[in-house]
Every structure is written in structure tokens, then in C-alpha cells.
Amino acid sequence: MKTFVLLIGLLALVSCTWVEPSEQGKAVTLVKSSHVSNCQSLGTVTSSTKDTVGFVDRSEEKVAGELLDLARNKAASMGGDTIVAEGQPEGGSQTFRVYKCG
């Protein structure tokens, strides 16, 4: 019974979203690199989040969403309004280039 309760609790944690976008982060847009040719580059940010809880893999969609929210929040704090992903999420981490386009 203890194992069952622990498993249910672990599954509940796996389905949770732990990262929320800030108000400023909500204004940051994700675009393809072809859309930033007239923008000012502000640098890069690397986002990291848990891709597993215990021995259970978290949903790739939830992990990618959290990485994007973290990148948006960091970009906003740098004065950016646009980000471009550098590759795909890997191991709960992803790098983004930050731009000021507006």
C-alpha cells in the first residue's frame, strides 16, 4: 500500500508544471533565426529543468515548455523581446539566443 501511495504521489509530481512565465517573459517571442536579421543580439541563455522525477521521465512537451518559459523570463531580464532556440532540448537543458527587435 505504501508503494502504491508513493507511486501516485510521484506521478502527480511528474505531471506538474513548475515554471511560470513572468509578466515580462510573456512578451518575449520565440522565432526562427531568419527573423532576427535586423535585431540587436544581447547574448545567450541556457535553461535547465528536471527531465525526470526519481526514475520516471517527465513529458517531453512539459519539459520543453518549462525550458521555453525559463528562457523567456531570462531574456526579459536582459532587456530582450525575442529568442531563437539553438537546437533541441537535451537532458533537461536548452540554449537560446536573445535579441532586442522592438
For the chain, what are the domain ranges?
2-100
pLDDT in tens, 26-49: 999 999 999 999 999 999 999 999
CATH class of 2-100: alpha beta
State yes or no: pLDDT of 3 exceeds 70: no
Q: For residues 4-27, b (16+ Cβ closer than 10 Å) or e, as one string?
A: eeeeeeeeeebeeeebebeeebee
Say what the pLDDT of residue 57 is. 77
Say what the pLDDT of residue 26 is. 95
pTM (two decimals): 0.80
Count of residues making up the chain: 102
